[in-house]
Amino acid sequence: MTAGSRLHRSTLVAALLATALVITGSSPPSPPREQGVAAPGQEYAPPWSWPLSPTPVVLRQFDRPEQPWLPGHRGVDLAVEETARVNSPAAGRVVFAGWVVHRPVVTVDHGGGVLSSFEPVTAVLDRGQAVQDGQQIGTLDTGARSHGASSPGAGSHGASSHCPSSCLHWGVRVDGEYVNPLNYVTDRRPSILLPLRGP
């Protein structure tokens, strides 16, 4: 067999094999079109715990003002029973326990420029004391109006018209800027879409 005939035969065999692959459909199938479906629930452990137990109802959401000097709601209001126990949502140190504009306030420094404040709360710890996650820092004070308040509505969150009933105001600051406290206790991650293969 000459070299030319061997080359012709090899070319013919290759062509026949390629044709057979096309006819039998051996080429890989096209990927199915993807449809978005919600990802299955995944375990989520929030970095902080709620300052109240059981998990409270949020009466008023965080409302960041457009500018620091404009009105807004720099925290969340949580429904609470009168004289309820208020706990630190994370480990830290009490850096303030006193009165601010007729309201008793407790502030905990969690480190890294993160502080959380609670009002109207009467502290059970002194300034400078370390606290653990879930440790009691005070009790709700619904009688704060009596501490020097002279005008209607000047009392505490629990006793004034700020809330229709007793509530705890919880604020969180990061490097001096107010942020939404719910970011630390609820799953705020965006929904993830997974591909759904067709039949």
| Domain count along the chain | 2
What pTM was estimated for this model as a whole? 0.66
Do 6 and 78 reside in the same domain of the chain?
A: no
How many helices, marked H, and strands, marked E, lie in the chain?
A: 1, 13
Cβ-Cβ contacts under 8 Å for 45 (sequence gap 6 or more): none
Q: What is the pLDDT of residues 136-152, one digit of tens each?
A: 999 998 776 433 333 33
Q: Give me 62's structure tokens.
A: 């965080």
Q: How far, in Å, are 101, 144, 164, 168, 187 from residue 150 at the CA level?
A: 11, 12, 20, 22, 41
The answer to the question of residue 35 being in a domain is no
By the 8 A CB rule, do 134 and 85 touch?
no
For tokens 């006193």, what's the residue? 98
In angstroms, the CA 35 to CA 37 distance is 6
More confident position, 161 or 101: 101
Which segment, 72-81, 113-122, 145-154, 155-164, is predicted with the most confidence on average? 113-122
DSSP H helical segments within the chain, as ranges? 3-24
Q: Which domain holds residue 18?
A: 1-30
CATH number at residue 146: 2.70.70.10
The answer to the question of residue 40 being in a domain is no
- For residue 181, report the phi and psi dihedrals to the nearest 5 degrees: -60, -25
Cβ-Cβ contacts under 8 Å for 17 (sequence gap 6 or more): none
The answer to the question of residue 176 being in a domain is yes
Do 24 and 63 reside in the same domain of the chain?
A: no
In angstroms, the CA 75 to CA 157 distance is 12
Largest CA distance in the chain: 116
- For residue 22, report the phi and psi dihedrals to the nearest 5 degrees: -70, -45
Do 107 and 22 reside in the same domain of the chain?
A: no
More confident position, 151 or 80: 80
Do 5 and 62 reside in the same domain of the chain?
A: no
